[in-house]
Amino acid sequence: MSATDADLGRPEDLSERERKAVEAQLFRLADDEYVQAERYTFWQVRSPTLESDLAISNNAQDELGHARLWYDAIQQLGYSEEDLLWESDPSDFQHATFVELPFEEGQWANAIVRAYLYDVAEDIRLAAVEDSSYRVIRERASRAQGEEGYHVEHARSWLERLAADADASERAQEAIDELYPYALTLFEPVGAVESDIVELGIRTQTLDEMRTEWENRIVDTLSELGFSVPTDADVASPIGRDNEHTDAWHSLHEEMTSEYRDLGRDSATVIMDPEDE
Amino acid sequence: MIVEEVKAQAEPRRFTPKDDMPVEYRKAATRMLEFHANSEIMGAYLERPFIRRAPSLERKMAFSAKTQDEIGHGQMLYRAAESLGIKTREEMLDDLANGDGKFLNCFHYPMESYAETPMIAFFVDGAAMRRQATLKKSSWEPYAHAMDKICFEEGMHVKHGESILRELMSGSKREQEMVQDAFEEWWPRILQFFGPTDDQSTHHDFAAEVGLKVSSNDELRNSFLNRYMEKAKHYGLEIPDEPRIRERDDGTYDVVEDDLDWDEFFTVSQNEYDGSIEQITGRAQAQEAVQWVRSMMDNPTSTPNRSAQAAD
C-alpha cells in the first residue's frame, strides 16, 4: 500500500512541515465535528417527535465521539483539552462557517438539509483520509466511517419525507438555497499547507476533487427528489477555515465556555471508566 | 375483572394488556405512568442547557446521553401507559404542552448554574431510583417491565451526578460554596419529592391496594434519607437546620412537615408556579414550532410540482 510506504511515522517523527500539515487536517476534522455536534444538540428535547429526538441525539453523540477522537490525536502533538476547547479564543477554531450557523425553533427542514449536506461531505472526507500517510488519521477515520454511513441514510430518508409534502418541500428548498453557499466553506483551501496535505499523502484527494464528488452526489439525490441546487452560487463569507467566523460562533463559544469560566476551572474533566470510580 | 378481584389477585407483574382490567385500575395506572413519563420529558428539558454549557468534552457527552436516555424513558413509559387504553400518547403529550399534564415537583425549578446540576442528577435521580426500584414489582406488567431498563440507565445517571458532585466538592472554595448554596435551595424540594406524608396523600390507598404501587411515600423518603444524608455529608455538604429531620428510635426519620412550604408544593403540583409556567411554556413553544413536521407525518399532501413520492 503506497500510503504505508510513505508513512509519516509517529507524532514525534514528524518534520516541521509534516507536522503543520497533519495539524491542519486534524483541526478541520475535529472542529467541524465538534461544532456540528453542538448544533445538533439544539434539537435535544426540541425535535418533532420522541423518535426523531432520539435519532438526532444519536448523531450528536456520534459526532462528539469523533471530535474526541480527533482532539485526542491533536493532543498527541502536545496540546491539551484546555488549550483546545476551554481556554482558547473563538478565532482559534478552524471549522467551516457552515457548521456554526444557528438554528431557530421549528427549522427542522434546515436541520435535515444541513445534516445531509454535511454527512455526504464527511463521508467523502473520511474516505479521502482512510489511506492517510499519518497512521493515527488512517486508523481513526475507519472507526468514524461506519457511523457516518448511517447518518447519510438518516438524513436522506427525512429528505424523502419532506420532498413528498408540499409545504415541507418548500421549507427544504429554502434551506437548500440558504445553506448551499455555506456548505461550500467545507471545501475552502487555506494557505500553503493545502498542497502539503496532499503532497505528503495525509489526504489522498484534493479539496477540488472532493467538492466535485460532493456536488455530483448531492445534485443527483436532490434533483431526483425534485429539488433544485444553486450550483452557480458563490461560496459564503466568512469561511471559518481561516479563523474568520460569524458572530453566531462567537456567542456560541461564549456560552459553551461560560461554566468553565464561572467555576474558575483550570482543567477539563476526563471521566474515568465508571468501573474505576 | 372487578376491582375486588384485582385487589385479591394483586402481586408483582400480575396483570398484562391481555387481562380485562376494570376502568378504575386502568385509570389509576394511566395516571401514574403518564406522570412518570411526563417527568422524564420535563427532567430532560430542565437539564438540556447543560449539554451546551458542560465544562468538559466528556461531561458534554454525558449530558447529551443522559438527556437522550430520559427521552427514551418517556417513550417507553408512554407506550406502557397507552397499553391501558385510556389515553393515547398524542393526548398525553398535548396535555403536557397545554399545562394539564402533571410531573414531579423538582422539575418545575429551572437551574441557573452548573453547580446545581448534581441536585437533579444525584439527589433527585437518587430519590427517583428509590421509587423506581420498587416499581419493578408493580402489578401492571408493562410498567414493571419498563422499569427494568430504566433503572439500569438511571443507575448510570446517578453515578454521573455523583461524579459531578464529588468533583465540585473537591474543587475550589468557590465551587464548594456554590454547591452548598444550591443544596440549601434544593433540599426542601428534594424532601418534598416523595410527596406529603402518607396520612395526607390522596392517591396512595387505591394504587397500593391494586398493587400498582408497592411502597408508601414515607417508606421511600426514609430509604432515601438513610442513604443520601450520609452521602451529602461525605462529600462535605452541610444539611440545613430546617426543615427539621428527627431520627426515631427505630432508625427511621421524621421530617417536620410544617417546616416545608406546602402551599408552594401544591402550587407547583397544579403547574401554577412561576417556574412551572416557564418550563411548560418553553417546551410547548418548541413543540409548537415543529407542529408542521408532525402534521406532515400524519397527513402528507401531494406535491404535483415535484417528481418525488413518499419513500417506501
- How close B301 gets to chain A, by Cα (Å)? 5
Q: C-alpha B265: how far from its chain's center?
A: 15
* pLDDT attached to residue B203: 58
Spatial distance between the Cα atoms of B32 and B207, rounded to a whole number of angstroms: 9
CATH code of the domain containing B44:
1.20.1260.10
| A276 pLDDT more than 60 | no
**Interface contact A57-B67, CB threshold 8 A:** yes
* pLDDT attached to residue A272: 55
| A133 pLDDT more than 90 | yes
pLDDT band at A149 (very low <50, low <70, confident <90, very high): confident
Contact status of B310 with chain A (Cβ, < 8 Å): yes
**Interface contact B41-A265, CB threshold 8 A:** no
- How close A41 gets to chain B, by Cα (Å)? 7
Q: CA of B246: how far to CAs of A22, A150, B48, B95, B233, in Å?
A: 64, 56, 36, 39, 16
Residue of chain B whose Cα is closest to the Cα of A226? B306
Is residue B213, in this structure, part of any structural domain at all? yes
B85: left (phi over 0), alpha (psi -120 to 50) or beta: left
Is residue B82, in this structure, part of any structural domain at all? yes
Residues of chain A neighbouring B113 (CB-CB closer than 8 A): 259, 262
Question: In this structure, what C-alpha cell is assigned to residue B131?
Answer: 421509587
Say which range, A61-75, A84-98, A112-126, B250-264, has the weakest mean pLDDT: B250-264
**Interface contact B303-A165, CB threshold 8 A:** yes
Residue of chain A whose Cα is closest to the Cα of B74? A50
* pLDDT attached to residue B299: 84
Q: Which residues pair with B246 in a beta bridge?
A: B254
Overall average pLDDT of the B235-251 stretch: 93
- How close A219 gets to chain B, by Cα (Å)? 14
**Interface contact A226-B303, CB threshold 8 A:** yes
Is residue B2, in this structure, part of any structural domain at all? no
* pLDDT attached to residue A147: 87
Domain count, chain B: 1
pLDDT band at B240 (very low <50, low <70, confident <90, very high): very high
pLDDT band at A15 (very low <50, low <70, confident <90, very high): very high
Backbone angles phi, psi at A69, to 5 degrees: -60, -45
- Under 8 Å between Cβ of A140 and B275: no
**Interface contact A224-B307, CB threshold 8 A:** yes
Percent with pLDDT over 90 in chain A: 91
pLDDT of B154-180, one tens digit each? Answer: 999 999 999 999 999 999 999 999 999
pLDDT of A180-218, one tens digit each? Answer: 999 999 999 988 899 999 999 999 999 999 999 999 999
Mutate one of A107, A271, A276, A277 to test the B interface: name it (highest B CB count within 10 A). Answer: A271
* pLDDT attached to residue B161: 97
Residue of chain A whose Cα is closest to the Cα of B46? A45
Spatial distance between the Cα atoms of A100 and A32, rounded to a whole number of angstroms: 9
pLDDT of A55-64, one tens digit each? Answer: 999 999 999 9
Say which range, A146-150, A167-171, B165-169, has the weakest mean pLDDT: A146-150
Q: CA of B105: how far to CAs of A136, B90, B165, B203, B264, in Å?
A: 49, 23, 22, 16, 10
| A6 pLDDT more than 90 | no
Q: Is the ipTM of this complex over 0.90?
A: yes
| A250 pLDDT more than 70 | yes
| A24 pLDDT more than 90 | yes
Is residue B3, in this structure, part of any structural domain at all? no
Is residue B7, in this structure, part of any structural domain at all? no
Is residue B305, in this structure, part of any structural domain at all? no
- Element at A168 (helix H, strand E): helix A166-183
Q: Which of B161, B152, B150, B102 is nearest to B126 (CA)?
A: B161
Task: State the residue range of the domain holding B85.
Answer: 12-294
**Interface contact B68-A71, CB threshold 8 A:** no
Write the single-letter amino acid at A121.
A
Is residue B300, in this structure, part of any structural domain at all? no
Q: Which residues pair with B15 in a beta bridge?
A: B140
CA atoms within 13 A on the CB side of B26: 17
Spatial distance between the Cα atoms of A199 and A20, rounded to a whole number of angstroms: 13
Residues 6+ apart with CB under 8 A from B294: A48, A49
DSSP string, A204-229: SS-HHHHHHHHHHHHHHHHHHTT---
DSSP string, A36-87: HHHHHHTTTTTSSSHHHHHHHHHHHHHHHHHHHHHHHHHHTTT--HIIIIIS
Q: Locate cell 393526548: which residue?
A: B91
* pLDDT attached to residue B202: 62
In order of their start, the domains of chain A are 15-276 (1.20.1260.10)
Is residue B128, in this structure, part of any structural domain at all? yes
Nearest to A269 among B59, B72, B297 (CB): B59
pLDDT of B118-150, one tens digit each? Answer: 999 999 999 999 999 999 999 999 999 999 999
Q: Which of A234, A225, A249 is nearest to A180 (CA)?
A: A234
**Interface contact A81-B57, CB threshold 8 A:** yes
pLDDT band at B199 (very low <50, low <70, confident <90, very high): low
Spatial distance between the Cα atoms of A89 and A71, rounded to a whole number of angstroms: 16
